[in-house]
């Protein structure tokens, strides 16, 4: 039963996490439109491999935190700084997601698989995302950090990411979709990180 819980959390956690429009999924949709679905899916596989590695590292770190509760206080302060920085970045610095994504690298067209790996490496959000998600579900007894269950979550996270990207490859077209998308998703992410920053701040204040 534990493996089933980990599989479901791994799949749907990644699927929902990748679903909001962003650089990676809109890039996959653009490749699909310009170069075909096969190259876009190859790009998606590269992304999934990186996401699986990030998920594995995040779960190892989360398991360590579970065994060393004293680390949580330090991480809360570090997390506050990270979330505040992310809020500033997504609201004031990040490019508008409503703009067309430009491909400045001609050589990247030769191998979309490695391009997917490279772009996914630049996105470090899955690491804190999976640390938070795994610890939260573990507190409710719905997530296990033992080795078989951990690997099932890693594999499921790759499948969930691929399923979400496949939807963009199949149905979305960046040029047409960008005209209909009147909401800058970076603002949405910035608001979410701002809310998390406030919650984390008050949580730290309670401990003093």
Q: What is the pLDDT of residue 185?
A: 55
Q: 158: exposed, middle or buried (C-beta count within 10 Å: 0-12, 13-18, 19+)?
A: buried
11 pLDDT above the threshold of 60: yes
- Residue-wise pLDDT tens digits, 14-38: 998 888 777 788 888 888 888 888 8
The answer to whether residues 90 and 187 touch, using CB atoms and an 8 Å cutoff, is yes
CA pair distance 177, 174, nearest whole angstrom: 5
Across residues 148-158, what is the average pLDDT?
94
Estimate to the nearest angstrom the gap between the alpha carbon of 60 and the chain centroid.
17
Q: What is the pLDDT of residue 16?
A: 87
Tokens 């191998």 map to which residue? 111
Tokens 């060393």 map to which residue? 68
Residue 170: which of 32, 9, 61 has the closest Cα? 32
CA pair distance 99, 184, nearest whole angstrom: 9
Across residues 170-178, what is the average pLDDT?
58
DSSP per residue, 89-135 = IIIIISPPTTSPPP---SGGGG-HHHHHHHHHHH--THHHHHHHHHH
Q: pTM (2 decimals)?
A: 0.69
Q: What is the pLDDT of residue 181?
A: 47
Across residues 2-12, what is the average pLDDT?
93
Across residues 132-161, what is the average pLDDT?
89
Tokens representing 57? 């590292």
- Residue-wise pLDDT tens digits, 36-83: 888 999 999 999 999 999 999 999 988 888 777 677 667 667 767 877
């Amino acid at each position: 039963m534990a493996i089933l819980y980990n599989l479901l959390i791994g799949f749907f956690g990644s699927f929902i996490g990748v679903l909001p429009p962003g650089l990676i999924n809109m890039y996959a949709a653009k490749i699909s439109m310009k170069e075909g679905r096969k190259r876009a899916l190859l790009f998606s596989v590269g992304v999934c491999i990186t996401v699986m590695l990030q998920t594995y590292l995040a779960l190892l770190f989360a398991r360590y935190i579970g065994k060393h509760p004293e680390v949580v206080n330090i991480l809360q302060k570090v997390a506050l700084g990270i979330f505040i920085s992310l809020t500033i970045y997504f609201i004031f610095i990040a490019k508008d997601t409503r703009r067309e994504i430009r491909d400045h690298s001609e050589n990247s067209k030769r191998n979309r698989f490695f391009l997917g790996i490279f772009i996914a490496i630049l996105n470090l959000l899955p690491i804190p995302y999976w640390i938070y998600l795994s610890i939260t579900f573990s507190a409710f007894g719905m997530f296990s950090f033992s080795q078989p269950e951990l690997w099932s979550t890693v594999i499921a996270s790759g499948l969930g990411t691929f399923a979400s990207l496949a939807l963009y490859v199949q149905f979305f077209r960046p040029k047409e979709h960008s005209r209909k998308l009147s909401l800058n998703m970076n603002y949405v992410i910035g608001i979410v990180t701002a809310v998390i920053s406030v919650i984390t701040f008050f949580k730290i204040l309670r401990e003093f």
